[in-house]
Structure 1
Amino acid sequence: MTVQTDFRGGGAPFPPDTTPLDNAVWSALTGPHAHLAERVGRAARYPDDVYAYAALADPADPAAWADLHTLVGLGTTVKIKPVGAAPPGWEVVGGGTGVQFVDTALRAEPAPEAIRLGPDDVPEMLDLVARTEPGPFRARTVEMGGYLGIRHQGRLIAMAGERLRLPGWTEISAVCTDPGHRGRGLATRLVRAVAAGIRERGDTPFLHAAPGNANAIRLYESLGFTERLRGRTLLVRSPGTTTESGLL
């Protein structure tokens, strides 16, 4: 499904080319996040403690899969998206589907109560993620972009931030609120505030959700995001074992 809307709400500028979103992880790793990339030829990945995903320039290209094998080594498990199927020799050990949304009518605005989060806040951020399960967030994910949070009596109770950044687009991610503070619109305020920062530098926000997360999807659609596509993620194990190479 491709978005047909030409303009975002509020007289915002014409949205950028959506092509990079078709292979968003690759577009990020070979673009604005190249400084974070581990890369061999037509395969790249984030360090595991940043974002546990890899990508291929062309998932249908056997040479790209060969480069990925060189990159990750023998018998290594790795997440990759988007991809339809793995080639012979690669074992599929899991997977799922994600829904991609793009900003078509979002009202972006600062949240005065929000504070900027950084490396010193990571322990609290990880604790909030563990309690709310918004999606992948690791010890160095904060290095992918700006994160905002809201505190109550000194305790972090809600956050949202930037994850994938690609030409013309920045992903909003890790949107979560402590269960004891839901129903106050904290997630809405944070999404709008993160989007305001993204818009300021000329990018357009997008985000992902699990197809079964009805609450998140309702929130994002109510804020002005439109579903663009659904893509498959695979968890695969690379061919071979360390014993075959004589390492053990």
Structure 2
Amino acid sequence: MRDSNQAELNRPIWAALTTKQAHLGQGAGLARRFHPDVAPFAALASETPAAYQALHRLLGPQEQVALLSTEPIDPVAGLQTTYLGVIHQMIALNREAGSTDDRDVIRLGHADADDMLDLVQKTKPGPFGRRTGEMGNYIGIRDQGHLIAMAGERMRLDGYVEISAVCVDSDHRGKGLAGRLMRLLRKEIEQRGDTPFLHVFSDNLSAIQLYERLGFQLRRTFRLNRIGHAAPD
């Protein structure tokens, strides 16, 4: 695992869209975004007026995307920015040493898309679209045919893979299902030679505590912003 050089993690969306997940995105030199049904994220080559205008051209009149920033975004002509909160980027630098339990764990794919969407709509783990499952490996657990727990890989960049969409149906919480799925994903990511990381809102204390118990530690914080076309005057 490449622990010494973490520069890609300072700009994870841009790094993913310009390397391993370029095929899932749109845009070119100054601004890029994921296809709308894959993920709502976008990134800029640099925070310049020209880059913001390039992003403006990538957005439809009613579309919005999410950007990470380290500082508040200054007003940009033609765009409206809404600050959504502080994001913790957490990383697991030490290899998973605990045991993993793959009982009843299944691989999720295209045939499971409706059930995956239904679960995330119930549990609200974060953005998830019909094609989000194409971003990486997704695993889950079913009970009597119903998908009750899920976790998967979202952004992929050189040396790092993001764990995301960790969610458990409310009727099945407290059974350790989220931890089981995360440990399995983490082990698989590390076996491929990559380092797992994740993003979580700073006020989601229960999730942060779980991630800390699983060996993830805070690396840095970002501001999450929603950007779309400004309303006409």
Give the TM-score of the pair, scaled to structure 2: 0.91
**Matched residue type, 2:84:** G
Cα distance change on mapping 1:106 and 1:159 into 2, 3 Å: farther
Distance 1:177 1:106 in 2: 25
Aligned to 1:36: 24
Give the 3-state SS of the residue equivalent to 1:184 in structure 2: coil
- Of 208, 217, 230, which residue of structure 1 is paired with 2:221? 230
4+ residue segments displaced more than 4 Å: 73-76
Give the 3-state SS of the residue equivalent to 1:127 in structure 2: helix
**Structure with bigger gyration radius:** 1
Distance 1:69 1:204 in 2: 33
Cα distance change on mapping 1:36 and 1:231 into 2, 3 Å: same
What is the number of residues matched between the two proteins? Answer: 229
Distance 1:37 1:68 in 2: 13
The answer on whether the counterparts of 1:170 and 1:205 sit within 8 Å (CA) in structure 2 is yes
The answer on whether the counterparts of 1:105 and 1:223 sit within 8 Å (CA) in structure 2 is no
Give the 3-state SS of the residue equivalent to 2:69 in structure 1: coil
Cα distance change on mapping 1:202 and 1:175 into 2, 3 Å: same
Aligned to 2:43: 55
**Matched residue type, 1:170:** V
Aligned to 2:113: 122
Aligned to 2:86: 97
- Of 71, 83, 86, which residue of structure 1 is paired with 2:58? 71
Q: How does 1:61-210 map to 2 (within 5 A)?
A: 61-72=48-59, 76-82=63-69, 84=71, 85-89=73-77, 90-105=79-94, 107=96, 109=100, 111-210=102-201
Instruction: Answer 1 or 2: which has greater strand percent.
Output: 2
Larger deviation: 163-172 or 192-201? Answer: 192-201
Distance 1:47 1:207 in 2: 21
Report the CA distance between 1:69 and its aligned residue. 2.0
List alignment gaps of at least 5 residues for structure 2: none
List alignment gaps of at least 5 residues for structure 1: 1-12
Larger deviation: 14-23 or 227-236? Answer: 14-23
Cα distance change on mapping 1:76 and 1:154 into 2, 3 Å: closer
Cα distance change on mapping 1:239 and 1:41 into 2, 3 Å: farther
Aligned to 1:10: none
What is the CA RMSD across the aligned residues, in angstroms? 2.0
Aligned-pair identity (%): 45
Give the 3-state SS of the residue equivalent to 1:138 in structure 2: coil
Report the CA distance between 1:167 and its aligned residue. 0.8
The answer on whether the counterparts of 1:16 and 1:168 sit within 8 Å (CA) in structure 2 is no
Distance 1:64 1:77 in 2: 16
The answer on whether the counterparts of 1:16 and 1:204 sit within 8 Å (CA) in structure 2 is no
The answer on whether the counterparts of 1:75 and 1:240 sit within 8 Å (CA) in structure 2 is no
